[in-house]
Amino acid sequence: MKYLALATGLFAATIAVAETPTLTVYTYDSFVSDWGPGPAVKKAFETTCDCTLKFVGTGDGAALLARLRLEGARTDADIVLGLDTGLTAAAAETGLFAPHSVSAEYDLPIAWDDPLFVPFDWGYFAFVANAGADLPANFRDLAASDTSIVIQDPRSSTPGLGLLMWVKTAYDGDAEDIWRGLSDNIVTVTKGWSEAYGLFLEGEADMALSYTTSPAYHMIAEDDDSKVAVPFDEGHYMQIEVAGKLAGTDQPELADRFLEFMTGEEFQSIIPTTNWMYPAVMPQGGLPDAFDTLIAPEKSLLVPADEADEVRDKALEEWLRALSR
């Protein structure tokens, strides 16, 4: 039955292609889930484009790039959405992306002038804790305290990699020392963000690595203001999520329209309460009230995209050395 329905659906889709064009967007899995931005974005874009917007979800940002590399120039994707600045240099190197024509008034902590990739949201990594606890003010404080943390493995998780880059940019030569100091604070290292955040909510650790925007979810969706992001005075590492157009797309105009739409009012106002990140372009209505209560880091840290690979490899080596002892 299921397969029959599936086959019928495919057949119908094939016919539909002849009439309305389809724009295929590869993205990470949580973007397309019922609780992510995907369904609302699809609906909004399809009412304006006279086309079908087809999302294809694959793991996370790194898995997305790996899939694109697997498919190479033969890929069906017109747009790839969900890479971050740690991946854009490697993505650009594939030669699969084409320059975009979007210009927008970005609301980012840094200037944006990448010719291939358009940002759609951003956030700061931060440790999230229960309000009222005695919380450290930086990594050295944390290492000296007995506050326990759960983090993600940089080899399998994007936030895990973000933390690696955070410590490396904040401490450079001393990063390995910091990790050695943190080793007795780390309860465990998980495969992905969900496991770490789940363990924290279950009380397995005092803090988990997440985003400064995480408390907004609890306030808005659960009416719970007991979770706070902890400000660190070294500054916070940023994640800027971007999309790009494939050079081999058979829908170049539609792809341009989508990127334009992506920095527009409708898309951007969906982001804060579905992806729980800051919009790349501030929507006219501003942000939900709960976002006003979030911490605003004084210093933004980010490794330039073209240095990301090199810094990452070195930082991972140090991380493994410091924590494997």
Catalog residues that contact another protein under the rule CB under 8 A: 1-3, 6, 10, 29-30, 32-36, 38-39, 55-59, 62-63, 66-67, 69-71, 74, 76, 148, 153, 155-156, 183, 186-195, 197-199, 201-205, 214, 217-218, 221, 276, 312, 316, 319-320, 323-324
Secondary structure (DSSP) of 169-208: HHHGGGHHHHHHHHTTTEEEEESSHHHHHHHHHTTS-SEE
- Least distance to another protein from the beta carbon of 102, Å? 25
- Give the residue with the Cβ less far from another protein, 206 or 234: 206
- Give the residue with the Cβ less far from another protein, 122 or 197: 197
Are residues 31 and 81 in contact, defined by beta-carbon separation less than 8 angstroms? yes
Cα(152)–Cα(154) distance, integer angstroms: 6
- Least distance to another protein from the beta carbon of 29, Å? 6
- DSSP class of residue 231? P
Per the listing, tokens 């709960």 go with 290
- Least distance to another protein from the beta carbon of 260, Å? 23
- Least distance to another protein from the beta carbon of 199, Å? 7
- Give the residue with the Cβ less far from another protein, 66 or 104: 66
- Least distance to another protein from the beta carbon of 287, Å? 17
Q: Which helix (H) or strand (E) holds 81?
A: strand 79-84
- Give the residue with the Cβ less far from another protein, 89 or 199: 199
To the nearest 10°, report the CA torsion of 195, 200, 206, 210. Answer: 60
Burial class (CB in 10 A: 0-12, 13-18, 19+), 188: middle
Q: Which helix (H) or strand (E) holds 268?
A: helix 265-270
How far from the centroid of its chain's Cα atoms is residue 20's Cα? 31
- Give the residue with the Cβ less far from another protein, 191 or 299: 191
- Least distance to another protein from the beta carbon of 264, Å? 22
- Give the residue with the Cβ less far from another protein, 151 or 281: 151
* Tokens representing residue 267 in the block: 């898309």
Are residues 272 and 220 in contact, defined by beta-carbon separation less than 8 angstroms? no
- Least distance to another protein from the beta carbon of 147, Å? 13
- Least distance to another protein from the beta carbon of 283, Å? 21
- Give the residue with the Cβ less far from another protein, 36 or 119: 36
Least Cα distance to 37 among 17, 20, 22, 53 occurs for 53
- Give the residue with the Cβ less far from another protein, 102 or 228: 228
- Give the residue with the Cβ less far from another protein, 14 or 284: 14
Burial class (CB in 10 A: 0-12, 13-18, 19+), 203: exposed
- 3-class secondary structure per residue, 89-129: HHHHHCCCEECCCCCCCCCCCCCCCCCCEEEEEEEEEEEEE
Q: Which helix (H) or strand (E) holds 281?
A: none
Cα(112)–Cα(156) distance, integer angstroms: 28
- Least distance to another protein from the beta carbon of 244, Å? 18
